[in-house]
Amino acid sequence: MEGIIAIWQRDLKKFFRDRARLLGSFSMPILFLLIFGGGLSGTMETMMSGGFGEESSGFNYLEFIFPGIVAMTLLMTAIFSAMSVIEDKNFGYMKEILVSPISRVSIAVGKMLGAATVSTIQGMILFLLIPFLGLSYSIISLIQVIPFMFLLGAALSGVGLLFASMIKSTQGFQLIVQIIVMPMIFLSGALFPINNMPSWLDVIVKFNPVTYGVDVMKKIMIDVDSLSQAVRETMGLNLTVFGRSVSVFEEILFILAFAIVFVAIATISFKRAHA
């Protein structure tokens, strides 16, 4: 346990000391907020009011995508945090850890917890933008979503750790991860509804863990019950799997299972890669 805590603390210290990384990590989320929130909000809200009239009076497109932007921040931070494993190997730090009494399982778990904590902190920092964006999420909903943010960050860090254990260069890691990250973002419902997609894309959507992460965050942060059934259907707020609506509890169970499986696989791969 001491080894896990030591590695977790090291990753946190690196995060807070690297101001360029701290500031740079917000460039993509803010860019998406400006492009999608500022550029498409008027169009989307006009379309909704034209199609549903008074039924869409409670719809705010920026409120719809903000939880998705937070989930996108969690995804990118959690996965790219695993790149420190490759950097530690290149600078020789990993060799020092491997000859220490710390088990390799503890190293992997410590890295996973560090990435989950860092991603959660960065997601929470985005909450500071809420007043400036004119959004009205309740304090209770923001507090309730934080534990789930940590769980989602832990699950996604397992994906990053798995690739980091198999790839030797940071350039190769960045290339492979970018290919994976962008489809996970755009096929999650973070920025636009995922209804009525082709069947082959719909399969990817339903196996994408970010889909369930985004849906849970929207259902916690947004007052979905205040929206009409037609608006919820149009904006993809009634997620179904095999024609059956899934509950928040079921989605959390899926994310938890995904986290356990991927962290276990990443740990095994990590042990073999450094055997």
| pLDDT tens, residue by residue, 119-166 | 899 889 889 888 888 888 889 999 999 999 999 999 998 888 888 877
Domain range enclosing 236: 1-273
Band (39; pLDDT cuts 50, 70, 90): low
CA distance 232 to 225: 9
CA distance 183 to 188: 8
CA distance 29 to 110: 26
Q: What is the pLDDT of residue 99?
A: 58
Residue % of the chain over a pLDDT of 90: 15
To 5 degrees, how large is the angle CA 73–CA 5–CA 178? 25
What is the pLDDT averaged over residues 206-213? 91
What is the pLDDT averaged over residues 110-121? 87
| pLDDT tens, residue by residue, 41-94 | 666 666 666 555 555 555 677 888 899 899 988 988 888 887 777 776 666 666
Cβ-proximal residues to 211 (8 Å cutoff; 6+ apart), any chain: 187, 188, 189, 194, 205, 239
pTM to 2 decimal places: 0.86
Count of domains for the chain: 1
